Amino acid sequence: MLDPYKIREDFPILKRKVNNNPLIYFDNAATSQKPRQVIEAIRSFYENHNANVHRAVYTLSQEASELYEDAHEEVAEFINASGMEETIFVRGTTEAINLVAYSQALHDLKKNDEVIVTLMEHHSNIVPWEILSKIAGFNIKYVDVNNDGTINYESFEGAISKKTKIVCVSHVSNVTGVVNDVRRIAKTAHEYGSLVLVDGAQSVPHLPVNVKDLDVDFLAFSGHKMLGPTGIGVLYGRREILEEMAPFQGGGEMIRDVEFSPKTRRCSITWNDLPWKFEAGTPNVCGGVGLTEAVKYLKKVGMENVKEHEEALTKYAMSKMRECCKKVKIYGPQTSTAKCGIVPFGVDGVSSHDIALFLDNYGIMVRSGFHCAQPLHEVFKLNSSARASFYIYNTCEEIDRFIEVLKEIEQF
Amino acid sequence: MGIIEDYVARTEGTCGKEQDVIVIFKYDKKDEAVKRILAKATLKKSIAGIVFELTFERFSFRLYGTGKAIFRDLKDKEELKALLSELLS
């Protein structure tokens, strides 16, 4: 088991006070706090190695290129990809999904093709498909979610057909923390010849994720939710698929040659090797450096330990909320099994925003609203929800304080 | 500078079906803003001196000692501006 008190020493922000109370940060599903190792790596990059990467022969550029390439390797190893060719750096999960959506929709998806999306998806795995279906003419089939927040596998099996070209599913729901059986979904999808795109924004930071074991074609995740900086994220893609796939954006870095033919008066373009073919323009080199440190940090803690710690916190929080609070309702699954460290909840007669504002008064940070998953809230028939989400530096002591304040909110 | 610019740092529409508006007062002016609003509005309920449930004209809202207020059932931004001007003046 990990020691959250020892881990907390690495996170400078956790020493600060908010509204004269020690900061209790329970909005980790939105973004995580950063350890000093990540902060130091970013500072050191700008102080010692900053330069643009690739195609420059001078020392600084060589150093920066090496650091940036190492970052790809580090991430590839973390998710058990075959190599850095399969890890494309993007701004975050949203851009990763858009990359796949645009590339697929503009080149491979045709009228009457189908894309499957579940109703528990974050808007970032719904909106790109809705936009592109209007351009490319493909259909979207939505998979139902059960009342407890779990995916309705019968609905999925009923929706899939030979027309399905891509199945889009989150590994872990950002509202309920439910862990979906991605392996099962991938197996069925592949039987029908469909690709599988997994939103790993809430899984990669919180549990061991092995792309080979899951047998998925794409996995999208964000650096900032896993101790890294904002503005850097990853799209894992199976090498043979990425090789065939058309680029998302055009520009420098992603090309090998741009040859002008005086005869045709057009340019013919040869794409760069993977992963650079999908990284147009000057990349976020420093973000990559920060992400490397974040991955190293998580590897040192151990992803099994991360998972166990969050499971223990979730179990503790859910049992205390039930035991101590009469008006608090927990949404989604009522047990902590097959669930990451996310607890969506409400207090009878109190809006989620009032809950968040009241907790803020005590330095406790929770999210309120739809959490960018409005369709799932419609399934639950909720106007909004409050959400507490945990990470490696959270403690049972913090949950006790949270419960104390929840009891005060019940007096509203 | 108008009275709203004097006291209000930011307004934020909430995410959710409720479509409430949260007003965040400037840090160095928040205590004064809270004092002014409490003097103008009618107190319905207070919890631990942290949150005040208030009414003013047809509006009901909650004001937090941290310098934030949550307003409901507003028609538009203009209505919010008019209400804040009244409350802060």
A213 shares its domain with A344? no
Q: What pLDDT shows up at residue A335?
A: 87
**Of B10, B11, B18, B30, which to mutate for an interface test with A (greatest number of A Cβ within 10 Å)?**
B18
Residue B82 Cα, gap to closest chain A Cα (Å): 23
Query: Which of A299, A322, A356 is where one domain is finished?
Result: A299
A66 shares its domain with A189? yes
A274 shares its domain with A373? no
pLDDT in tens, B41-70: 999 999 888 899 999 999 999 999 999 999
Residue A370 Cα, gap to closest chain B Cα (Å): 5
**pLDDT-flagged residues of chain A (< 50):** none
- Total number of domains in chain A: 2
Query: Which of A263, A278, A299 is where one domain is finished?
Result: A299
The radius of gyration of chain A from alpha carbons, rounded to an integer in Å, stands at 22
A162 shares its domain with A191? yes
Q: What pLDDT shows up at residue A164?
A: 98
A307 shares its domain with A356? yes
Residue B1 has pLDDT above 70, yes or no: no
A175 shares its domain with A218? yes
| CATH number, domain containing residue A214 | 3.40.640.10
| CATH number, domain containing residue B44 | 3.30.310
Structural domain span for residue B73: 3-88
Looking at chain B from residue 33 to 62, which residues have their Cβ under 8 Å from any Cβ of chain A? Answer: 47-48, 50-51, 62
Q: What pLDDT shows up at residue A37?
A: 98
What is the ipTM for the molecules in this complex?
0.91
A241 shares its domain with A387? no
Give the residue among A388, A299, A364 at the shortest CA–CA distance from A29. Answer: A388
A121 shares its domain with A204? yes
CA distances from A411 to A44, A111, A284, A383, B71 (A): 50, 56, 48, 21, 20
| A324: annotated active-site residue | no
CB–CB contact B47 A408 (8 Å): yes
Query: Which of A251, A269, A299 is where one domain is finished?
Result: A299
Give the count of alpha carbons within 13 A of A94, CB side only: 10
- Total number of domains in chain B: 1
A122 shares its domain with A14? no
Is the pTM here over 0.90, yes or no? Answer: yes
Residues in chain A, total: 412
pLDDT in tens, A117-162: 999 999 999 999 999 999 999 999 999 999 999 999 999 999 999 9
Q: What is the mean pLDDT of residues B1-17?
A: 90
CB–CB contact A361 B47 (8 Å): no
A349 shares its domain with A210? no
CA distances from A136 to A139, A142, A166, A329, B13 (A): 9, 18, 14, 42, 34
Chain B residues touching A358 at Cβ < 8 A:
47, 50-51, 64
Chain B residues touching A21 at Cβ < 8 A:
none
Chain A residues touching B22 at Cβ < 8 A:
353, 357
